[in-house]
Amino acid sequence: MAKISLRVSGKSASQAISYASHSLVTEGFHVTAETKRIVHSVLTGETSEHQFHLAVKRKFNV
């Protein structure tokens, strides 16, 4: 598993998530606040990649 080493500011992460979620919604996907929170925590370095994978597995039951 590759290590995520890129960390961005909270503001940059929020802007990127906003743009991405608008695009996904336009394409017909449902983006929740929880999903945004999980991605934000990874982009800002608050959550490790391993913790991210566990959170996604729990959320989507995979």
For residues 8 and 26, give the distance between their C-alpha atoms in angstroms, rounded to a whole number: 25
Digit-coded pLDDT (tens) for 33-52 = 998 999 999 999 999 889 98
Task: Categorize the per-residue pLDDT at 60 as very low, low, confident or very high, splitting at 50, 70 and 90.
Answer: confident
Q: Per-residue DSSP letters for 8-28?
A: --HHHHHHHHHHHHHHHHHTT
**How far is residue 28 from each of residues 44, 50, 56, measured CA to CA in Å?**
27, 28, 20
Q: Which two tokens mark 4?
A: 């995520």
Residue 57: exposed, middle, or buried by beta-carbon count in 10 A (0-12, 13-18, 19+)?
Answer: exposed
Digit-coded pLDDT (tens) for 7-18 = 899 999 999 999
Residue ranges of domains in the chain = 32-62
